[in-house]
Amino acid sequence: MAPLAPPATAGFPRRAFLAASAGLALLAAGCTAGSSGTPEVSTQEADRLAEQVTVQEAVVAAYAAATTADPALALSDLAAQAGEQLDRLRAAAPSSTSPAASSSAPPSPPPGGDVRTWLREQVAGAAASHAAACVQQTGARAALLGAVAAGLRGHEAALA
């Protein structure tokens, strides 16, 4: 019987090398821009994503309305995050080119009501809308909507 080779103790372990190689290959395959295997965005997907841009615009408007209604609320960080999420959604939506795509009146908190609770309800509704729309998208658009929905759930918890 042949003697067994002693285990390698120094250097880069083979398993780590194989795992890193596999991860790098997946990363390269998944992140190659302009590859011919990339599915085109269907008209329905584009329309659904444009609807979610409108939903996120309402969130940004709700933050602005809440800040106006109660300047004592410290909302600048959350409002900035909501704006960044809106920018990412606009960039991903092929048909969303204008910054003011929604024609509805901006939301406003009820007079004399609890502004924080109202804002939390607005954010929760948008998070639910993004999460529901996520399953109707594919690839990066689905991931983006999922990430935005999760981020808004974090906003909802911070506003509680």
25-54 residue pLDDT tens = 444 444 444 444 445 667 888 888 999 999
Residue 101 falls inside a structural domain: no
Number of domains in the chain: 1
Contact 152, 126 (CB under 8 A): yes
Terminal C-alpha separation, the chain? 69
Supply the pLDDT for residue 1. 65
Residue 35 falls inside a structural domain: no
Q: Which domain holds residue 65?
A: 43-96+115-159
Contact 38, 26 (CB under 8 A): no
Residue 119 falls inside a structural domain: yes
Residue 89 falls inside a structural domain: yes
Supply the pLDDT for residue 98. 47
Supply the pLDDT for residue 41. 67
DSSP string, 92-138: H-TT---S----SPPP-PPTTS-HHHHHHHHHHHHHHHHHHHHTTS-
Residue 126 falls inside a structural domain: yes
Residue 130 falls inside a structural domain: yes
Give me the tens of pLDDT residue by residue for the chain, a chain 160 residues long: 666 665 555 554 555 544 555 554 444 444 444 444 445 667 888 888 999 999 999 999 999 999 999 999 999 999 999 999 999 999 998 765 444 444 566 678 888 889 999 999 999 999 999 999 999 888 999 999 999 999 999 999 999 9
Q: What percent of the chain is predicted at pLDDT more than 90?
A: 51
Global pTM value: 0.69
Residue 59 falls inside a structural domain: yes
Residue 11 falls inside a structural domain: no
What is the three-class DSSP state of 149? helix
Supply the pLDDT for residue 15. 58
